[in-house]
């Protein structure tokens, strides 16, 4: 009996020891900037084998694994601790996850709980955890230089990102891991054709620097606006403690994350004093011109009226004034044309609205003066430019009547009376009570008609059930309806870039679902092109369709004009119509 109790006691003791096995994961911080580093510890209270770390997806391991073991005896009790440590650098912003690590202890597999980490944009003063300290981190600096930190609303400024490197440091390339977002600005990146190394200084010390990018900004809000930083992962050569045979330090390749500091821009509102009534938001230095292609023509012939603003300023961000013409001149909606170059000084070039004008009757018609107002930030004043009056002479046409002269419009001719000849004054109606209705042929036909409808109802119900059961067909028909719906929605949102291209892209995706039975997740350009070739769609039609898809993707990052949106809409409608014929 005593031996049995002893066995029971020992088994309970071993069970309690097995239950006390702990294997936990901890992080040094749950929120960090993309230019900071993170320490992860995997700690166990009993020794184990076959440790398997997680994949660390979304991070770069910049240090580790470092292993530490601790054993202590306190009051006859033994404590044991074994830790694997890693140092991680995030590859992007967002909510990242550190997966489960595994260890085998006494034949059992134990796993840690996954940990969530929030990675924000780069911070000004990164606080790195103890880990590999880069000897060159004080010799590489990323700087954002702003041309004007206190501009007016819609005044052009530029942000230039420069990478400064000490002459003693070797850099082998870089990758962008966090691009700045200009939420409150109209922005346009100015590409660097090639990277050129310049000689300069940083904090009074000689440095070399490279201009990474230049961005033109037009602030769209007043007040304090923030320019988020650019963050880079740079490949550098780090000196070690070892030396070569000549006494120089041996280097090893490492990755270093650097970021430009946040920049604050204080945007001033345009002054209210002296603002013209016809001001539409033009800021810069402009010229204004109004011309016509003809001044003498015959009635029903056409001429072009061109309204043009040219110069330097926010040319894409305001509308030209509309002309007020006599009603005897028929005027069509204008065609907007742009000839704009973008550089570090802002937008330069011209924009114009071309109106087609068709006179209806003979006479002399003045095109009144047209005024254009803009704000000049160099002088802090508004300026108004006014065109000259232009007189259009119309020959060889119908004479203007007195009513034309008073109202400047023609009256509609009275409709001739013989157009109402189809109306019969005598309908030859007969009273209903002359013939007996009950018991007549019409009566019995109406009574029997419900019986005739029963087979039709059964047939219609059967077709309806078959229609419901056709899941694939219903999905394709629904996709086709959605394609037409989103194409119409894109047309309604013409002028709103985000809503227009979102609707147009949905239209194209649903069209592919309906015609090719393809899901959105499978819509790679290669697969779409292959399926269209299998369906004998012409190569030019396939290229045009893929071109519209690329325009939708490109428009997410680059501002476009109303003219470009109209062109993309026309292309989409045309290519869908052509593809319908070929399919």
Three-state secondary structure of 50-109: EEECCCCCCEEEEEEEEEEEEEEEECCEEEEEEEEEEEEEECCCEEEEECCCEEEECCEE
Domain with residues 19-120, CATH architecture? Sandwich (2.60)
Secondary structure letter of residue 315 according to DSSP = G
What pLDDT is attached to residue 246? 67
Alpha-carbon span 573 to 553, nearest angstrom: 18
Q: pTM to 2 decimals?
A: 0.50
What pLDDT is attached to residue 415? 38
Which of the residue ranges 97-111, 118-132, 225-239 has the most confident prediction, judged by mean pLDDT? 97-111
What pLDDT is attached to residue 348? 95
3-state secondary structure (DSSP) of residue 196: coil
Exposure string for 251-281, b = 16+ CB within 10 A, e = fewer = beebbbbbbbeebebebeebeeeeeeeebee
Q: Tell me: pLDDT of 254 over 80.
A: no
Q: Tell me: pLDDT of 518 over 90.
A: no
Torsion of CA 464, 470, 472, 474, to 10 degrees: 0
Q: Tell me: pLDDT of 269 over 90.
A: yes
- Residues 6+ positions from 457 with CB-CB distance below 8 Å: none
Q: Tell me: pLDDT of 318 over 90.
A: yes
Residue ranges of the chain that CATH labels 1.20.120: 471-582
The edge-to-edge listing of strands for the beta sheet with 77-90 is 23-27, 38-44, 77-90, 59-74
Does residue 101 contact residue 66 with C-beta atoms inside 8 Å?
A: no
Torsion of CA 269, 275, 277, 282, to 10 degrees: -60
Alpha-carbon span 80 to 379, nearest angstrom: 76
Alpha-carbon torsion (117, 122, 124, 126), positive or negative: positive
Alpha-carbon span 221 to 153, nearest angstrom: 7
Residue ranges of the chain that CATH labels 2.60.40.740: 19-120, 284-401
Which of the residue ranges 86-90, 247-251, 455-459, 547-551 has the most confident prediction, judged by mean pLDDT? 86-90
Alpha-carbon span 31 to 115, nearest angstrom: 12
64-73, 330-339, 361-370: lowest mean pLDDT where? 64-73
Q: At CB < 8 A and 24+ separation, what contacts does 166-169 make? A: 166/136, 166/139, 166/140, 166/205, 166/207, 166/208, 167/206, 167/207, 167/208, 168/139, 169/136, 169/139, 169/140, 169/236, 169/237
Q: How confident is the model at residue 373 (pLDDT cuts 50, 70, 90)?
A: very high
Alpha-carbon span 205 to 167, nearest angstrom: 10
- In CATH, the number for domain 284-401 is 2.60.40.740
Segment 450-477 shows an average pLDDT of 71
Token couple for 19 = 């239950």
- In CATH, the number for domain 471-582 is 1.20.120
Q: Phi then psi for 71, rounded to 5 degrees? A: -130, 135
Q: How confident is the model at residue 558 (pLDDT cuts 50, 70, 90)?
A: low
Q: For the chain, what percent of residues have pLDDT higher than 70? A: 79
Give the distance, in angstroms, between the CA of residue 318 and the centroid of all CA atoms in the same chain: 22
142-146, 276-280, 358-362, 437-441: lowest mean pLDDT where? 437-441
Largest CA distance in the chain: 132
Token couple for 60 = 């770069």
Segment 383-407 shows an average pLDDT of 76
Spatial CA neighbour of 179 closest among 107, 115, 109, 227: 227
Alpha-carbon torsion (220, 188, 544, 515), positive or negative: negative
Q: Tell me: pLDDT of 511 over 70.
A: yes
Segment 221-227 shows an average pLDDT of 91
| Cα distances (Å, whole numbers) of residue 301 to 293, 295, 338, 363, 397 | 12, 12, 27, 14, 10
What pLDDT is attached to residue 407? 44
Q: Tell me: pLDDT of 248 over 80.
A: no
Alpha-carbon span 442 to 448, nearest angstrom: 10
Comparing 1 with 172, the larger pLDDT belongs to: 172
Comparing 36 with 13, the larger pLDDT belongs to: 36
Q: Tell me: pLDDT of 18 over 60.
A: no
Alpha-carbon span 166 to 202, nearest angstrom: 9
Residue 163: strand pairing partners: 142, 210
Q: Is CATH 2.60.40 the right assignment for the domain spanning 140-267?
A: yes
Alpha-carbon span 530 to 538, nearest angstrom: 12
Alpha-carbon span 313 to 306, nearest angstrom: 20
Phi-psi label, residue 363: left if phi above 0, alpha if psi -120 to 50, beta otherwise: left
Comparing 516 with 476, the larger pLDDT belongs to: 516
Q: In whole numbers, what is the pLDDT of the chain averaged over residues?
A: 80
187-191, 420-424, 561-565: lowest mean pLDDT where? 420-424
């Amino acid at each position: 009996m005593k031996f049995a109790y002893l066995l029971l006691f020992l088994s309970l003791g071993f069970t309690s020891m097995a239950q006390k096995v702990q294997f936990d994961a901890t992080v040094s911080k749950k929120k960090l900037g993309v230019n900071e580093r993170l320490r992860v510890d995997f700690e166990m209270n009993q020794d184990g084998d076959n440790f398997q770390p997680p994949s660390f997806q979304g991070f770069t391991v910049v240090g580790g694994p470092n292993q530490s073991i601790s054993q202590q005896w306190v009051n006859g009790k033994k404590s044991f601790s074994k830790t694997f440590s890693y140092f991680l650098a995030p590859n992007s912003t967002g909510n990242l996850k550190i997966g489960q690590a595994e260890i085998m202890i006494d034949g059992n597999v134990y796993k840690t709980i996954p940990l969530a980490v929030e990675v924000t944009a780069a911070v000004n003063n990164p606080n790195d955890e103890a880990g590999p300290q880069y000897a060159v981190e004080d010799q590489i600096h990323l700087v954002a230089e702003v041309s004007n930190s206190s501009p007016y609303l819609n005044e052009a400024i530029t942000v230039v990102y420069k990478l400064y490197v000490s002459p003693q440091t070797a850099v082998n390339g870089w990758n962008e891991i966090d691009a700045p977002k200009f939420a409150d600005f109209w922005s346009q990146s100015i590409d660097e054709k090639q990277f050129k190394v310049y000689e300069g200084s940083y904090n009074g010390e000689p440095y070399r620097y490279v201009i990474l990018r230049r961005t033109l900004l037009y602030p769209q809000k007043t007040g304090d606006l923030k320019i988020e930083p650019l963050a880079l992962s740079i490949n550098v050569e780090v000196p070690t403690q070892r030396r070569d045979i000549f006494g120089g330090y041996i280097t090893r390749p490492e990755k270093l994350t650097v970021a430009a500091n946040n920049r604050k821009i204080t945007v001033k509102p345009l002054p209210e004093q002296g603002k013209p009534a016809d001001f539409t938001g033009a800021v810069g230095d402009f010229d204004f011109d109004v011309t016509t292609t003809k001044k003498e023509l015959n009635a029903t012939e056409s001429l072009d009226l061109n309204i043009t603003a040219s110069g330097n300023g926010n040319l894409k961000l305001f509308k030209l004034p509309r002309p007020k013409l006599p009603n005897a001149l028929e005027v069509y909606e204008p065609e907007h044309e742009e000839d704009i170059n973008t550089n570090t000084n802002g937008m330069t070039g011209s924009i114009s609205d071309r109106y087609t004008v068709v006179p209806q009757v003979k006479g002399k018609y003045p095109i009144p003066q047209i005024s254009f107002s803009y704000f000049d930030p160099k002088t802090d004043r508004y300026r108004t430019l006014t065109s000259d009056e232009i007189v259009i002479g119309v020959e060889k046409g119908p004479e203007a009547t007195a009513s034309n002269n008073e109202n400047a419009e023609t009256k509609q001719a009275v409709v001739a009376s013989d157009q109402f000849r189809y109306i019969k004054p005598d309908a030859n109606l007969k009273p209903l009570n002359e013939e007996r209705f009950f018991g007549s042929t019409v009566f019995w036909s109406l009574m029997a008609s419900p019986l005739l409808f029963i087979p039709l109802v059964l047939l219609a119900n059967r077709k309806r059930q078959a229609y419901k059961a056709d899941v694939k067909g219903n999905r394709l028909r629904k996709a086709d309806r959605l394609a037409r719906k989103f194409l119409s929605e894109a047309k309604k949102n013409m002028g709103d870039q985000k809503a227009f291209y979102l609707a147009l892209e949905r239209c194209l995706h649903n069209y592919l679902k309906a015609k090719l039975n393809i899901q959105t997740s499978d819509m790679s350009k290669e697969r779409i092109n292959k399926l269209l070739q299998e369906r004998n769609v012409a190569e030019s039609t396939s290229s045009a369709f893929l071109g519209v898809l690329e325009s939708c993707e490109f428009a997410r990052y680059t501002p476009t004009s109303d003219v470009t949106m109209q062109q993309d809409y026309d292309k989409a409608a045309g290519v869908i119509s052509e593809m319908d014929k070929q399919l």
